[in-house]
């Protein structure tokens, strides 16, 4: 269990009883986010609390540097961050004498410090695992740090555990589901539930797009693949929304993964920093060609290396990608569209990022979808089998 507050291993017996707790570090996630705050000149020197989005930004920045290239000043400052006893609030002023203080999160110091703290946090936990946890047990990860795909991949490769399982939403949304299951088990004796990641609400068609502006046509996957390849971004809505923090093909913005301009275009639409990577959705049939490994990961929980140089938009600066693997079984509609993309481009891979206003959950009403697309210059909306094209803007893009 590693998250904002808790950093510990819990050994559990076959009766689901905790028989041993091995503490590693208090507030690992908060310390990770604290580094971003210390680097950020816009973060208050006193009284500020870890921001939900900063950990993800730091994960992106860590890829821009090799921790082996860090100097003694950066390493010493990062060790002081790891030694923080309470990051609620973050004691930023205590670091005013270090090279980190207001250095800028995307500066040379910032990206190096991000790489160092990412390495050091994993070192701390993996060393305790080797020393205190019997080799060959399965590892189950819970907590928001389970969203760090780099760490998840390292847990798989250190060879200490027989297997590694990360649930689709290991952060607080998953903890809420787990708490409900726990209560059900106590009250009824039954701990199993029928559930998958597509257990959100159905899309609400509260308004109809203006026929003067939005031209409606039936969804044609091959025609949409042509449109995507022309540089358009598609707001893609299917079925129920995803539970958890990542778009998994039901509330997504899709774009051409083979265009170097797609990353910049999507980050502008999302109003995100330029250094944030864009994840791909890929057919399982194309994994071995496009990436260095072909294991299924339908919930975007692990990194892998990009093998195909054509995938410019989804290749992070370190050559990695956080791939959502898509099969007919896991998401039939998205798989059908990816197959149409493969017919056109030889690879069934597209850019996939979440369809939401910054700081809010997935868009789930037609009125919100229209407002989003019209304000962010998104000319294509697919809702179920309906494809809407913005006749006002599409000719000018």
The answer to the question of residue 207 being in a domain is no
> Is there a single domain that holds both residue 113 and residue 250?
no
- Provide mean pLDDT across the span 212-224: 97
Question: Do 228 and 328 fall within a single domain?
Answer: yes
Average pLDDT, the chain: 95
Any domain includes 197: no
What is the predicted pLDDT for the residue at 212?
Answer: 95
User: For 278-335, what is each residue's pLDDT tens digit?
Assistant: 999 999 999 999 999 999 999 999 999 999 999 999 999 999 999 999 999 999 999 9
Say whether pLDDT at 191 is over 90: no
Give the C-alpha separation, 169 to 191, whole Å.
Answer: 18
Q: Taking residues 200-215, what's their average pLDDT?
A: 96
Q: What is the bridge-based pairing of β-strands 380-383 and 349-354?
A: unpaired
In a domain, 391, yes or no: yes
Which of the four pLDDT bands, split at 50, 70 and 90, describes residue 195? Answer: confident
In terms of domains, do 18 and 127 share one? yes
pLDDT interval class at 394 (50, 70, 90): low
pLDDT over 60 at 396, yes or no: no
Average pLDDT for residues 176-202, to the nearest whole number? 91
Q: Is the pLDDT of residue 176 over 90?
A: no
The pLDDT confidence band at residue 397, using thresholds 50, 70 and 90, is: low
Of 201, 249, 256, the residue nearest 231 (C-alpha): 256
Q: 222 in a domain, yes or no?
A: yes
Residue range 130-143: mean pLDDT, rounded: 96
Q: Is the pLDDT of residue 68 over 70?
A: yes
- Overall number of domains in the chain: 2
Q: Determine the structural domain holding residue 121 and report its residue range.
A: 8-134
Query: Given 134, 149, 183, which residue is the final one in a domain?
Result: 134
For residue 352, the domain's CATH number is 3.90.870.20
Q: Report pTM.
A: 0.93
- Of 31-40, 225-234, 237-246, 317-326, least confident by mean pLDDT is 237-246
Domain's final residue, options 65, 99, 134: 134
Considering only 116-120, 125-129, 244-248, which range has the smallest mean pLDDT?
Answer: 244-248
Is residue 65 a part of any domain in this protein?
yes
């Amino acid at each position: 269990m590693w998250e904002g507050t808790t950093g510990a291993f819990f050994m559990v017996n076959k009766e689901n009883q905790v028989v041993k707790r091995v503490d590693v570090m208090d507030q690992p996630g908060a310390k990770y986010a604290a580094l971003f705050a210390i680097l950020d000149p816009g973060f208050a020197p006193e009284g500020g609390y870890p921001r939900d989005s900063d950990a993800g930004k730091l994960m992106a920045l860590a890829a821009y540097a090799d921790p082996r290239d860090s100097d003694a000043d950066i390493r010493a400052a990062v060790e002081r961050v790891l030694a923080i006893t309470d990051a609620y609030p973050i004691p930023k002023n205590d670091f005013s004498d270090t090279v980190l203080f207001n250095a800028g999160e995307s500066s040379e110091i910032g990206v190096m410090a991000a790489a160092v703290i990412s390495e050091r946090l994993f070192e701390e936990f993996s060393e305790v695992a080797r020393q205190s946890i019997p080799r060959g047990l399965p590892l189950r990860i819970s907590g928001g740090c389970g969203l760090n795909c780099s760490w998840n991949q390292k847990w798989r490769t250190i060879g200490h555990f027989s297997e590694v399982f990360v649930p689709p939403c290991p952060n607080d949304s998953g903890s809420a589901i787990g708490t409900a299951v726990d209560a059900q088990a106590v009250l009824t004796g039954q701990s199993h539930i029928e559930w998958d990641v597509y257990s959100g609400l159905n899309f609400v068609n509260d308004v109809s797009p203006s026929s003067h502006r939005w031209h409606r046509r039936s969804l044609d996957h091959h025609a949409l693949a042509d449109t995507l390849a022309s540089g358009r971004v598609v707001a893609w809505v299917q079925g129920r929304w995803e539970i958890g923090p990542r778009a998994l093909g039901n509330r997504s913005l899709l774009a051409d993964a083979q265009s170097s301009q797609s990353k910049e275009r999507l980050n502008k639409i999302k109003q995100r920093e330029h250094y944030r990577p864009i994840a791909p959705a890929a057919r399982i049939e194309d994994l071995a060609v496009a990436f260095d490994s072909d294991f299924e990961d339908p919930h975007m929980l692990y990194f892998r290396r990009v093998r195909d140089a054509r995938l410019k938009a989804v290749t992070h600066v370190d050559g990695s990608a956080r791939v959502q693997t898509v099969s007919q079984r896991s998401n039939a509609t998205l798989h059908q569209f990816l197959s149409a993309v493969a017919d056109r481009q030889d690879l069934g891979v597209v850019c996939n990022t979440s369809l939401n206003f910054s700081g809010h959950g997935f868009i789930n009403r037609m009125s919100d979808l229209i407002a989003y697309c019209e304000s962010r210059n998104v000319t294509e909306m697919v809702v179920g089998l309906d494809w809407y094209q913005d006749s006002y803007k599409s000719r000018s893009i």
